[in-house]
């Protein structure tokens, strides 16, 4: 199975509380999303499934569900719903923040969110979820020097493999930002797959530039249905690209506060 040929959708926080950003999905809406996928006959896959040669069951349609940043709400809110429906996902965690608050992010108003701890990650893994790397410090990789880039890629892989005891095969580019140099280093670090986002300028999807659609707080069922299409409408892709530009505030904040 070629992962570039199946829909990949992405969530961040699953929280009822309103956030300044739009990446938080309300738990009730998330549950409706999952039930809709079940009713539509989708079967979830991880990259470990793909590497092992697992195929889609008869009458089912393949889909991958990912979670960026590895927030605790994946365990408390998303996991119970997905477990009940027989779904699994891929969770991307910044290695230095396991069990800690997201101090790497710009949060107007001071609200912080906790990342998954090691015990929660292990429980998700035992339930069939895959844990992937998201850098050590959730830094934009395209602005790093060669040594810092290697440290982010190799360090996050080593930290997760030590914590979880199994190979980490996939990487998610922080902020969706990458270029040819970064993608080449991801491959050199030993990852088999890498995910960005489905926005203009990334070219064709490859194993190191897999495209996804983010699911936002305000996405209606109609928009959600379009986002799980193998080729979502171009206007929706462009809208999401515009929304993602908001993450540049955190990238700028990191550059201004970098002491390395």
The answer, yes or no, to whether residue 132 has pLDDT greater than 60, is yes
Q: What pLDDT was estimated at residue 256? A: 46
Average pLDDT of the residues of the chain: 91
Q: Can you spell out the DSSP letters for 71-108? A: BHHIIIIIHHHHHHHT---EEEE-GGGTTSB-TTS--T
Q: What pLDDT was estimated at residue 216? A: 94
The answer, yes or no, to whether residue 246 has pLDDT greater than 70, is no
Of the given ranges (35-39, 66-70, 174-178, 255-259), which has the lowest mean pLDDT?
Answer: 255-259
pTM of the predicted model, to two decimals?
Answer: 0.92
CATH number of the domain to which 42 belongs: 3.20.20.370
Q: Please tell me the total count of domains within the chain.
A: 1
Distance CA 153, CA 191 (A): 9
pLDDT in tens, 75-106: 999 999 999 999 999 999 999 999 999 887 76
The boundaries of the domain holding residue 29 are 3-257
Please check whether residue 52 is in contact with residue 115, taking contact to mean a CB–CB distance below 8 angstroms.
no
Residue partners of 39: CB distance under 8 A and separation at least 6: none
Upper half-sphere CA count for residue 80 (Cβ side, 13 Å): 7
Q: What pLDDT was estimated at residue 198? A: 67
The answer, yes or no, to whether residue 202 has pLDDT greater than 60, is no
Q: 21 pLDDT band (50/70/90 cuts)?
A: confident
Q: 18 pLDDT band (50/70/90 cuts)?
A: confident
Q: What pLDDT was estimated at residue 22? A: 85
Cα three-residue angle 107-137-100, rounded to 5 degrees: 65
The answer, yes or no, to whether residue 50 has pLDDT greater than 60, is yes
Q: What pLDDT was estimated at residue 248? A: 59
The answer, yes or no, to whether residue 167 has pLDDT greater than 70, is yes
pLDDT in tens, 105-115: 766 556 789 99
Average pLDDT, integer, range 163-187 = 96
Nearest Cα residue to 240 out of 201, 193, 186, 182: 201
- Exposed, middle or buried: residue 203 (CB in 10 Å: 0-12, 13-18, 19+)? exposed
The answer, yes or no, to whether residue 74 has pLDDT greater than 70, is yes
What number of helices (H) and strands (E) belong to the chain?
10, 8
Distance CA 31, CA 78 (A): 8
- Exposed, middle or buried: residue 96 (CB in 10 Å: 0-12, 13-18, 19+)? middle
Please check whether residue 130 is in contact with residue 170, taking contact to mean a CB–CB distance below 8 angstroms.
yes
Distance CA 89, CA 129 (A): 5
Nearest Cα residue to 90 out of 49, 118, 55, 119: 49
Q: What pLDDT was estimated at residue 199? A: 55
């Amino acid at each position: 199975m070629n992962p570039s040929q199946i829909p990949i959708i992405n969530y961040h926080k699953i929280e009822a509380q309103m956030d300044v950003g739009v990446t938080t999905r309300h738990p009730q809406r998330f549950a409706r999303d999952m039930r809709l996928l079940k009713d539509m006959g989708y079967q979830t896959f991880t990259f470990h499934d793909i590497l092992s040669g697992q195929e889609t069951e008869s009458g089912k349609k393949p889909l991958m569900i990912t979670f960026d940043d590895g927030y605790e709400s994946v365990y408390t809110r998303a996991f119970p719903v997905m477990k009940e429906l027989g779904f699994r996902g891929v969770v991307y965690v910044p290695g230095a923040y396991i069990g800690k608050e997201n101090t790497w992010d710009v949060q107007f108003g001071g609200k912080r969110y906790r990342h998954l701890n090691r015990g929660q990650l292990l429980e998700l893994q035992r339930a069939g979820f895959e844990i992937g790397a998201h850098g050590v410090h959730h830094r934009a990789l395209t602005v790093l020097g060669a040594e810092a880039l290697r440290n982010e890629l190799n360090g996050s892989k080593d930290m997760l493999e030590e914590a979880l005891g199994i190979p980490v095969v996939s990487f998610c580019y922080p902020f969706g930002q990458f270029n040819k140099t970064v993608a080449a280093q991801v491959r050199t670090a030993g990852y088999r797959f890498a995910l960005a986002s489905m926005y203009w300028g990334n070219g064709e999807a490859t194993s190191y530039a897999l495209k996804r659609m983010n699911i936002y707080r305000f996405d209606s069922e109609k928009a959600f249905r379009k986002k799980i299409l193998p080729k979502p409408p171009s206007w929706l892709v462009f809208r999401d690209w515009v929304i993602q530009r908001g993450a540049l505030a955190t990238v700028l904040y990191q550059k201004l506060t970098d002491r390395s």
